[in-house]
Each structure stands twice: as C-alpha cells, then as structure tokens.
C-alpha cells in the first residue's frame, strides 16, 4: 500500500491538523478531509474531526462529518470523483459510508487493528460483493497519526488514575 505523492502528504497534513483540533476538544484525535479535483486543481470540499462526545452522537466520526460537509457543498450525496484523507483506518460504519458516497480513493494514516475496515480486519472498501469499490492506500504519515492517538489515550488513562485516587 504505497504510491503517495506530495499532494497526498499535503492533504494528510490537513487531516492531521483537524485531528489535533479534536484532541484539544477532548475528542479522539481523528481528522478527515474530502478532496475534489476542481477546475483550478484539487481543493478540500469537506472537513471533519471526531465530535462524538460534544454532540453525543455515535455517528459523528471524522469521516462521516467530512462526507456530510462535502455532500452539502456539492448538493449531492455522490462523491465519485473525490478522495478522502483520514488519519486512522476507517471503522466498518465509516467504510460503509465511503462506499455509499462512491468515494474514488481512500488514503489513511494509521492502521486500526481493533476496528479497521479498509484492509486490517475487514475489506469493506474493496469488497466485490458491494456495489462500489475504491482505491485504498494506508500508512501515509502513519507514525504521526498513531502518535496523536497514543498521546490522547495515555493522557486519558492518567487522568482516570488521578480521579480514581481521590
């Protein structure tokens, strides 16, 4: 799973920036952007980061938030000429949403051994039984993405220990 270019790195940096924003808000640090190839070149048409805690919404994953924003921008649910950059391999729900949106290409950072549905545990983004498949590539800026997640969960565990000691 390779073949990344400078453009891919630029858009993944945007997703990482959104993941950091999520972490500052107390959300699991995952960020996502939807990119279309516009007349003047590629541009971001949807941004998202996790909002599950703030919105009390189990579906408010970064990918879903970004897809909703892109759909509103395009006034269409079909995003067949778009790609998504996300800092963590999508879960089954998000991978299904990507399939339903007809995303052309998925690029993700860290692999998710507990819920990854784009190659690690499941192959939803490339399941031949589904009506759509997409080019899928993982591992772009994986260490940076994983480091944010480790930092977040380490801090969360420490704060729980402090609270439990009181």
Active site residues: 63
Burial of 92 (0-12, 13-18, 19+ CB in 10 A): middle
3-state secondary structure of 118: strand
DSSP summary character for residue 135: E
CA distance 96 to 68: 14
**Residues sharing a CB contact under 8 Å with residue 82, sequence separation 6 or more, in sequence order:** 34, 35, 36, 45, 70, 101, 103, 104
Name the β-bridge partners of 118: 123
């Amino acid at each position: 799973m390779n073949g990344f270019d400078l453009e891919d790195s630029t858009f993944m940096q945007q997703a990482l920036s959104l993941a950091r924003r999520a972490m500052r808000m107390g959300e699991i640090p995952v960020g996502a952007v939807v990119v279309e190839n516009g007349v003047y070149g590629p541009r971001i048409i949807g941004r998202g980061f996790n909002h599950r805690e703030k919105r009390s919404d189990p579906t408010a994953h970064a990918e879903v938030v970004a897809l909703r924003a892109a759909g509103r921008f395009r006034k269409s649910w079909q995003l067949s000429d778009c790609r998504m950059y996300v800092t963590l391999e999508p879960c089954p729900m998000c991978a299904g949403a990507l399939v339903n949106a007809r995303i052309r290409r998925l690029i993700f950072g860290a692999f998710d051994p507990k819920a990854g549905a784009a190659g690690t545990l499941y192959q939803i983004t490339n399941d031949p039984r589904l009506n759509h498949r997409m080019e899928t590539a993982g591992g772009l800026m994986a260490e940076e993405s994983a480091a944010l997640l480790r930092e977040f969960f380490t801090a969360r565990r420490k704060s729980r220990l402090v609270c439990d000691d009181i």
